[in-house]
Structure formats: structure tokens, C-alpha cells
Amino acid sequence: MNTKILYLAIGVALVAALGYWLMPEPARLEVNPEDSPAGAYRVAEPAYSRLVTAAQAGNCDAAYKLGRHHIFFSLNTKEAIRWYRLAAKCPNANAKGELVGILMHFGTADAEVDKLLLEIEQLDPEAAEGERAAVHSVRSLRGSASQ
């Protein structure tokens, strides 16, 4: 009786394996970057080159768009920080706040974060209050994790 159950189990496994092997591959899905949430921040050529030129010439909005492209779409944090730092030189509380968030995520540049918080406070005290609370929470967690 045990051999019958064993043969039945082996037969079921073979049929399942054969069925899986014969099953056609599903059609590959073409993913359009514009359809993803991050696609809203994608900057394709030739617009990318124009934004780089403008940002290097001091256009803070162009630098901000490049920072968002890199943090949300290309996922290149080093480039994102580079462009956000350039955008943060202008009175843009959003660029400064997003840069604070990135820097806090990596646990670096506390002096830069404090400077940015002061600049945000000059531009938008309400936004600065939220940023300060977030920074305080992260620093508290960081402090408790090192103990």
C-alpha cells in the first residue's frame, strides 16, 4: 500500500512538472517609464542636456528638476545630491527640504542639514517646523541605535 502512494505521488509530481514545462511563457510586459509614478520625474534627451546646461549656468529650477529626476527616476543618489545642492542655493524651500531628507537618510552632513533648516525657516516657517521635527526624530533614532 505504501508503494502505491509513493507511485501516485511521483506520478502527480511528474505530471505537474511536465505541465509547467509545457506551459507557454507569458508575454513579456513592456513597461513604459512614463506610466510609473517615478515617470513623472523622468527627463529624457534632449531636455536632459538642456537642463544640465541651464543648471550649470545657475538656473535653480533646472537643477531642482535634475535632482528630482535622479532621486526618483534614475535612483542615482550621488547625482541627486549634486543637483539638489545647486538648487538649494536659491530660495526654494522644497529643494532645501528634499535635500535635508536625502542627507538625513544617509546620516551625513549634520552641519549642512542645520544650515538648510535655518534657510528653510527664513523662507517658510511652517515647512521648517515640519522639517525640524523630522530631523529631530531621525537624530533621536540614530542616537538610540548607537547606544
pLDDT of residue 128: 92
The DSSP annotation for 81-111 comes to HHHHHHHTTSS-HHHHHHHHHHHHHTT--HH
At 63-121, the pLDDT tens digits run 999 999 999 888 899 999 999 999 999 999 999 999 999 998 887 678 999 999 999 99
**Total structural domains within the chain:** 2
The boundaries of the domain holding residue 108 are 91-147
Are both 96 and 65 inside the same structural domain? no
Whole-number pLDDT of residue 41: 81
> Do both 82 and 96 map to the same domain?
no
Among 50, 67, 90, the domain boundary falls at 90
